[in-house]
């Protein structure tokens, strides 16, 4: 850290320690809420959900060849394929969130052009595998599914619209395609890779299977035997690891998982503390009164959804932090519709990322993209809010 | 020998840099190793994803974290050649 930054941090810490009214019962309550929310997360979500999810993310980044997916975005790629792949590949290519912007810039300038590039730009943060899993676990399966489905649909729609709006404008430098980098590692048959991922996802779903209404016989049955299912699948996974993977691959996988955990855990930690402090646990209050939240983003009005969309677009969310923040907002009175709007606009955009997008595409196209994201998130929010009511 | 590690500064690019320095130490080879974090500059290399590893102007690896053995092999390929 530079000397100037160290000074700023120390100064900020001192000012906080000096001025924050710790004696005020509201502040004390908010601090307690922050810690209690953190404990909830530690007890309910870390072991069964986050850790397996980190392993899955690590596996994606090691065993799925990015280069082989990227070739679908080359300048000669068939457009239909480019869009379909772009809309789902965010989960594969952008497991590390920092790759989204450079990759977007590359596809835009060298590859298939503005359509697939913006489709990917949106899907990258939006279809983040870890985020969808945690959303479903913490905020409920309905919101998780709505987020995943909308994100895929949006990226295709936004990509196509951007392409249509700007098709007559010159595309800039001639599309040169990406540099071909020889990959000397052995190939694993696709079926094996798919089976391996399938089993891991199945384990994750099984051990997190929630209790449901006993009248839904099948659902309830699965809940009763979820540990048995998880155990059997675990044995299957162990067999796969021993038979299909070399030692150095398993080591790479573990290292990749560790890198993600190192990077994301502290951010999630901080996000949970901040959310707890500001909004409190569901059913409790943090420092922000619940009625402010209800007033701004409660219900399902156009205003509420729009506000959530715009606020989400401007705010920066570190990976996964949108989940505890949304949990706090929902608990303080936010409507389901505006919640979805925030989920769709929040991770995809932030003030810093808007500036970068502007640098790559130019102000006009960047504004068009941002407007599309905000408008569509608002509409999706209103539709979902109506369905969920 | 000129080595560039391409990446906007996340943990994966650090890992590539670390392994590169490891490889250089194991081979007892000196090289000018630098991180490229400005993504416009990263774009000029045309790689299909970060992290990327460029030795003497040639892109040896992109979109994944290479093993130390692979890096040593690439360094070996470039020993004795001038930087381009």
A358 interfaces chain B, CB cutoff of 8 Å: no
To the nearest whole angstrom, how far is the Cα of A355 from the nearest Cα of chain B? 13
Residue A36 confidence (pLDDT): 93
Contact between B12 and A184 using a beta-carbon 8 Å cutoff: no
Q: Which two tokens stand for residue A139?
A: 């905020």
Distance, CA of A122 to CA of A118 (rounded, Å): 6
Superfamily for domain range B2-78: Glutaredoxin (3.40.30.10)
pLDDT in tens, A300-314: 889 999 999 999 999
Residue B31 confidence (pLDDT): 87
Residue B82 confidence (pLDDT): 63
Interface predicted TM-score of the whole assembly (ipTM), two decimals: 0.74
Contact between B60 and A102 using a beta-carbon 8 Å cutoff: no
Residue A169 confidence (pLDDT): 59
Q: Please give the model's pTM, rounded to 2 decimal places.
A: 0.81
Phi, psi of A249 (to 5 degrees): -65, -40
Eight-class DSSP state of B4: E
Contact between A105 and B43 using a beta-carbon 8 Å cutoff: yes
Can you list the residues of chain B whose pLDDT is less than 70? 80-84
To the nearest whole angstrom, how far is the Cα of B45 from the nearest Cα of chain A? 8
Distance, CA of A323 to CA of A75 (rounded, Å): 37
Contact between B50 and A61 using a beta-carbon 8 Å cutoff: no
Q: What angle do CA A256, B51, B55 make, to 5 degrees?
A: 125
A339 interfaces chain B, CB cutoff of 8 Å: no
Q: Which of B42, B20, B41 is nearest to B32 (CA)?
A: B20
Residue A212 confidence (pLDDT): 66
Q: Which two tokens stand for residue A286?
A: 């943090």
For residue A121, which residues of chain B lie inside 8 Å, CB to CB? none
Can you list the residues of chain A whose pLDDT is less than 50? none
- With residue A198 as reference, give the H or E element that holds it: helix A190-207
Distance, CA of A236 to CA of A228 (rounded, Å): 12
> What integer best gives the mean pLDDT of chain A?
85
Q: Which residue on chain B is closest to A263 by alpha carbon?
A: B11
Contact between B48 and A101 using a beta-carbon 8 Å cutoff: no
Residue pair A95/B45 in contact (Cβ under 8 Å)? The answer is no
Q: What secondary structure does DSSP assign to B23-82, as a single string?
A: HHHHHT---EEEEE--HHHHHHTT-SSSSEEEETTEEEEESS---HHHHHHHHHHHTTPP
Eight-class DSSP state of A72: G
Contact between B49 and A99 using a beta-carbon 8 Å cutoff: yes
């Amino acid at each position: 850290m530079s000397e100037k930054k160290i000074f700023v941090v120390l100064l900020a810490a001192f000012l906080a320690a000096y001025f924050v009214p710790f004696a005020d019962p509201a502040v004390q309550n908010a601090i307690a809420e922050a810690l209690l929310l953190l404990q909830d997360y530690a007890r309910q979500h870390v072991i069964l959900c986050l850790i397996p999810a980190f392993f899955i993310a690590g596996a994606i980044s090691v065993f799925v060849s990015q280069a082989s997916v990227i070739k679908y975005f080359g300048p000669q790629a068939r457009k239909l394929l480019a869009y379909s792949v772009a809309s789902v590949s965010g989960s594969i290519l952008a497991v590390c969130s920092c790759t989204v912007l450079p990759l977007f810039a590359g596809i835009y300038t060298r590859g298939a052009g503005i359509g697939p590039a913006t489709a990917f730009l949106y899907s990258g943060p939006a279809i983040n595998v870890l985020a969808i899993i945690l959303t479903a676990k913490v905020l409920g399966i309905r919101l998780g599914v709505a987020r995943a489905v909308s994100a895929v649909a949006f990226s295709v729609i936004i990509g196509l619209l951007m392409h249509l709006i700007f098709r007559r404008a010159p595309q800039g430098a001639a599309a040169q395609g990406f540099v071909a980098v020889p990959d000397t590692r052995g190939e694993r048959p696709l079926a094996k890779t798919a089976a391996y991922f399938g089993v891991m996802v199945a384990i994750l779903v099984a051990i997190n299977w929630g209790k449901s209404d006993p009248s839904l016989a099948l659902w309830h049955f699965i809940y009763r035997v979820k540990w048995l299912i998880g155990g059997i699948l675990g044995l299957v996974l162990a067999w796969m690891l021993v038979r299909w993977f070399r030692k150095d691959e398993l080591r790479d996988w573990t290292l990749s998982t560790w890198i993600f955990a190192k990077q994301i855990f502290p951010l999630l930690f901080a996000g949970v503390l901040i959310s707890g402090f500001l909004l409190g646990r569901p059913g409790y209050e943090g420092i922000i009164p619940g009625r402010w939240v209800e007033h701004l983003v409660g219900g399902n009005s156009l205003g509420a959804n729009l506000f959530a969309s715009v606020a989400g677009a401007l705010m920066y969310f570190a990976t996964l932090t949108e989940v505890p923040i949304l949990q706090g907002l929902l608990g303080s009175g936010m409507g389901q519709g505006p919640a979805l709007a925030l989920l769709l606009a929040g991770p995809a955009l932030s003030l810093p990322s808007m500036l970068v997008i502007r640098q790559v595409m130019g102000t006009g196209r960047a504004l068009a993209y941002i407007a599309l994201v905000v408008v569509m998130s608002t509409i999706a929010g209103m539709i979902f809010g109506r369905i969920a009511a | 020998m000129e080595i560039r590690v391409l990446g906007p500064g996340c943990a994966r690019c650090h890992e590539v840099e670390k392994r590169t320095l490891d490889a250089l130490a194991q081979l007892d080879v000196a090289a000018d190793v630098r991180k490229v974090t400005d993504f416009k500059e990263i774009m000029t290399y045309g790689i299909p994803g970060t992290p990327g590893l460029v030795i003497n102007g040639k892109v040896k690896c992109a979109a994944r974290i290479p093993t130390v053995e692979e890096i040593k092999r690439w360094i070996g390929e470039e020993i004795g050649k001038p930087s381009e």
